[in-house]
Amino acid sequence: MYYNGYSESKYEYNAAGLRKSKSVNGEKTRFVYSGGDIVGEIESENYYIYYRGTELLGSRSYEGITSVYRLDGHGSVIGIFTPEGEELKKYEYDDFGSKKTFVLPPAGESTVLYQWKAETEGIHNPFGYTGEYTDEETGLIYLRNRYYAPNEGRFITEDPIRDGLNWYVYANNNPSMFIDPWGLANRYVRLADGTAFKSEADINGNVIEYLQYGATVDYTGKKIWKNGYSWAQVSYNGNTGWVNAKDLRTSDPNKNYIFGQSNENVADKKYGDYTISYNGCELVAIYNALVNIDAPMDFDKLISDAENTKGVRWSLPGMKSVFGTTPEGIGILLNNYGRTVSSTNKQDEFDDMLTVNGTYIVTFWNTTSIFDGIHTVMFTYENDGSIRVFNAYGNDTDARSYSSLNDYLKGKGKAEMLYRVQ
């Protein structure tokens, strides 16, 4: 319950932890979800439907009024239009999300005469900063796991997963670059005009220009990891520079792979009691293998399947996936996905398996010391016996070539299992 001196608010949550309703001064609003996104509100006999694709698109009220949203690179609603394109309202936010509403002046009058004003009647729109639901009664933004106060630039409760040193900070105190839609982990902001084409691979590097989505670039084949981001080198309009690798959409086959456990898209995802960056090399290898055979799998589903399938994870009393996936668990998952899998745990049989071009996964001890742990990689085998390893090390951001599997395993410990995936 929340009381701000003017109104009393009560909130109810479902079994998944999502807010299912709120009551303000006795008036109840119920929420309808698709996944973790609100797609409907029901208020007594009134209702509102929200249309979504990969992002918030528009709404329709119980009166049949349809509105279309315009979003910026943060996903924030910056304008509302009729389906015919007439602008009804526009918004502006400061860096941390405090919202102002611009009331459009009557035709023929100067906008100079009109100031930024509070939310006005006539258009029901609870969505604002980063496209998330704002409670009018409190001014707080509901981010599923906790509430964010944009006027303060902080969450009102601590981080449930207690990541980092400051458990109240929003978007690492850098909301220009990050958003946090679940109140758990930062996401990189998609730039409104496309992707930044930079002269150097650096967040603070000089921007040559902003490329519109769909712009054609030539990928040079070079990727590097710097300051927590994967960068791809491209040529565009006679210039050579760098773009964030996740924005790269070229014909290069590497674009769909997750190279290493430190990839920004998966590193902080929870797997058991830890994260992919700590214990997820087997899942990274499985994911890359499925991409390579044209059977891509959603990574979050892969994690869920690994956590809920018997025999996949190392099991210790009171601990979940501390050491990740067992060598045998790789085969269990691949078989469950309907893949044809050949395997052996005998090193003298490895050469017999490596006679056909294809997609392979190998699990081995990192060094000759049993306490250094197991590592798993996906690789492709070529006619000349060479291999291309897609997550040779935990933080790799590109594939590496070796003359043979033995060349890659040289100096490492005993190989445990070899799979061929079809």
CATH classification number, 195-252, choose in 1.10.30, 2.60.120, 2.30.30, 3.40.50:
2.30.30
108 contact partners, CB below 8 Å, separation of at least 6: none
Q: pTM of the predicted model, to two decimals? A: 0.47
Encode pLDDT of 133-151 as tens digits: 999 888 899 999 999 999 8
Q: Do domains 195-252 and 270-421 have the same CATH topology?
A: no
Closest among 210, 330, 346 to 282, alpha carbons compared: 330
Locate the domains of the chain by residue range: 2-149, 195-252, 270-421
Q: If pLDDT is split at 50, 70 and 90, which confidence band does 268 have?
A: confident
HSE-CB at 121 with a 13 A cutoff on CA atoms is: 0
Fold of 270-421: Cathepsin B; Chain A (3.90.70)
Q: What is the pLDDT of residue 319?
A: 46
Give yes or no for residue 249 having a pLDDT over 50: no
Q: How crowded is residue 164: how many other Cβ atoms within 10 Å of its Cβ? A: 11
Among 145-154, 193-202, 271-280, 310-319, the range scoring the smallest mean pLDDT is 310-319
Percent with pLDDT over 90 in the chain: 17
Encode pLDDT of 308-348 as tens digits: 888 887 755 444 445 678 888 999 999 998 888 888 888 77
Q: If pLDDT is split at 50, 70 and 90, which confidence band does 292 have?
A: confident
Starting at the edge strand that comes first in sequence, how are the strands of the sheet with 207-211 ordered? 207-211, 195-198, 239-244, 229-236, 218-226
What's the mean pLDDT when you consider all of the chain?
78
Q: What are phi and psi of 135, to 5 degrees?
A: -85, 115
Give yes or no for residue 297 having a pLDDT over 90: no
